[in-house]
Chains A and B, each alone.
Chain A
């Protein structure tokens, strides 16, 4: 492990230990936060008992659907905008200010359109995630060195072959940053929407536990989400770092 990795581990371990001590000594009432060790045992119980496997699968399915849609549509929209400079000039200020708009305020619209359930949740998550992918696509396509385009011409490639053999791999490190962000936003969109729009899923289960004063289960589920997101993000980050390393010249 790198030096930075060790420092990160020590900081996290110290924070967890401090929270454990604060909870165990009564500085923080257990009605507010339970000790991290209790969160861990709660998580273990949740996984072993299988009571929330259905919720976990519902959430992961929604995240996967929203992620795939946001990445696919975001890339397509980004590529089209990139190919049409006047459209880009018009769209870019809107894209830049997009995240100033609280997407969740549109949830009544999505309930009307899709009803209460997964479709509305996925729609909100896609809405939240898609612009990150559009922006990454624009940046990625902008950053393809002109000389690679000339090389493709010299190699007598057609537009389709050029797109797949040159443009896509050349833009991939930037596109993957968009993928990483889109997945993160998909998680946020799905879990947050489940609090208000769903009868199943991890977000719903947390809200249900909260409403029933079941702190132990609530924190166990929260820890589960943190662990899941960390695993997914670490895996994506490893790929991202490999791709970025190829850009360093």
Chain B
């Protein structure tokens, strides 16, 4: 095989490894160029490798959630292209699951019915639904609450219901929009452990939007730091963690270095956000 042919093979494998691609993506709300328009995002260039855990941190209002909406197909880029598995994102792509910050559990359904909701819609047979729901409910530590309604659960447990509902659909890309934002620090760390377990188990690509630097540093393979609005990536930090990791990593000597670097980049941007509002 010639050198040129080898280079081509390497290129192809790189493309196959690329699960999500954003190229020159911008998002402007309102008619671009008009006084009332808001340039919320971009231009953003980002490649997510298949199976990686990528987090996005940035000051409030920098367009993190807009970025997630573009990836989820809930919002169209004003300019640039967004691709998932090599296909342009036009509407919500199949194989994408989203967990929002707000409680999105269905209050009129039990935990088990919440988790089974998507599978029933998809026409999966009853035995398979039972098997997958049982696994997901057990995986998220909700077995004893399978028959309970969301109103009977704590905030963290309801968020686990939403994660389980996403998990059973076996998404290849999981988008998480500050899913633990409303939880206390200890619960967040433990939920982070469950998220890491879920990520390892499913081999899905995960994109996590968070405002918590420690959460991003602990969970991620890479962390993208966004500027104040309009949000662009000003740094992408490789954490270099092993795949097998959990919340005990916060005591690792490199953990402080990573969060320190993230904060160093973010501090100026956060000050800018505070100053400009």
What residues of A have a CB within 8 angstroms of the CB of B121 in the complex?
Answer: 155, 165
A156-B92, A247-B151, A249-B150 given; A151·B104 CB < 8 A: yes
A247 touches B97 (CB 8 A): no
Q: Roughly how many angstroms separate A52 CA and B62 CA in the complex, as a whole number?
A: 72
Q: Please pick, from B91, B103, B151, the residue contacting A147 in the complex, using a CB distance under 8 A.
A: B103
What residues of B have a CB within 8 angstroms of the CB of A166 in the complex?
Answer: 106
How many residues of chain A are within 8 Å of chain B by beta carbon? 20
B107 touches A153 (CB 8 A): no
What residues of A have a CB within 8 angstroms of the CB of B140 in the complex?
Answer: none
Is the CB of B72 closer than 8 A to any CB of chain A? yes
What residues of A have a CB within 8 angstroms of the CB of B74 in the complex?
Answer: 150, 153-154
Pick the most buried of A147, A165, A245, A247: most chain B CB atoms within 10 A of its CB: A147
Pick the most buried of A153, A169, A247: most chain B CB atoms within 10 A of its CB: A153
Task: Flag B112-150 by CB within 8 Å of A: 1 or 0 each.
Answer: 000000100100000000000000000000000000011
A169 touches B108 (CB 8 A): yes
What residues of A have a CB within 8 angstroms of the CB of B149 in the complex?
Answer: 245-246
Q: Roughly how many angstroms separate A245 CA and B158 CA in the complex, as a whole number?
A: 16
Pick the most buried of A154, A155, A169, A172: most chain B CB atoms within 10 A of its CB: A154
B104 touches A153 (CB 8 A): no
Is the CB of B98 closer than 8 A to any CB of chain A? yes
* CB-CB contacts below 8 Å: A101-158 with B: 145-148, 150-151, 153-156
Task: Flag B36-74 by CB within 8 Å of A: 1 or 0 each.
Answer: 000000000000000000000000000000000000101
Q: Roughly how many angstroms separate A249 CA and B100 CA in the complex, as a whole number?
A: 17
B108 touches A246 (CB 8 A): yes
Is the CB of A248 closer than 8 A to any CB of chain B? yes
B274 CB, nearest partner CB in chain A, Å: 27
Count of chain A to chain B residue pairs whose CB atoms are closer than 8 Å in the complex: 53
What residues of A have a CB within 8 angstroms of the CB of B100 in the complex?
Answer: 147, 150-151
B interface, by DSSP: helix, strand, loop or mixed?
loop
B103 touches A154 (CB 8 A): no
What residues of B have a CB within 8 angstroms of the CB of A170 in the complex?
Answer: 106-108
Q: Roughly how many angstroms separate A169 CA and B109 CA in the complex, as a whole number?
A: 9
Q: Roughly how many angstroms separate A239 CA and B106 CA in the complex, as a whole number?
A: 18
What residues of B have a CB within 8 angstroms of the CB of A151 in the complex?
Answer: 98, 100, 104
What residues of B have a CB within 8 angstroms of the CB of A147 in the complex?
Answer: 100, 102-104
Q: Roughly how many angstroms separate A247 CA and B107 CA in the complex, as a whole number?
A: 7
A169 CB, nearest partner CB in chain B, Å: 4
What residues of B have a CB within 8 angstroms of the CB of A148 in the complex?
Answer: 104, 106
What residues of A have a CB within 8 angstroms of the CB of B118 in the complex?
Answer: 155
Is the CB of B258 closer than 8 A to any CB of chain A? no
Across the interface, name the chain A residue whose C-beta is closest to B166: A154
What residues of B have a CB within 8 angstroms of the CB of A155 in the complex?
Answer: 118, 121
What residues of A have a CB within 8 angstroms of the CB of B111 in the complex?
Answer: none
A160 CB, nearest partner CB in chain B, Å: 13
Is the CB of B228 closer than 8 A to any CB of chain A? no
Task: Flag B85-105 by CB within 8 Å of A: 1 or 0 each.
Answer: 000000110101110101110
Q: Roughly how many angstroms separate A245 CA and B103 CA in the complex, as a whole number?
A: 17
What residues of A have a CB within 8 angstroms of the CB of B151 in the complex?
Answer: 245-249
What residues of A have a CB within 8 angstroms of the CB of B108 in the complex?
Answer: 169-170, 172, 246
B104 touches A150 (CB 8 A): yes
What residues of B have a CB within 8 angstroms of the CB of A153 in the complex?
Answer: 74, 92
Instruction: Give me the interface of B with A, judged by CB distance under 8 Å.
Output: 72, 74, 91-92, 94, 96-98, 100, 102-104, 106-108, 118, 121, 149-151, 158
In the complex, besides A150-B104, A165-B121, A246-B149, 4 extra interface pairs with C-beta distance below 8 angstroms are A147-B103, A151-B100, A245-B151, A249-B150
Instruction: Give me the interface of A with B, judged by CB distance under 8 Å.
Output: 145-148, 150-151, 153-156, 165-166, 169-170, 172, 245-249
- 7 A-B pairs whose Cβ atoms sit less than 8 Å apart in the complex: A146-B102, A147-B104, A150-B74, A156-B91, A170-B107, A172-B108, A249-B150
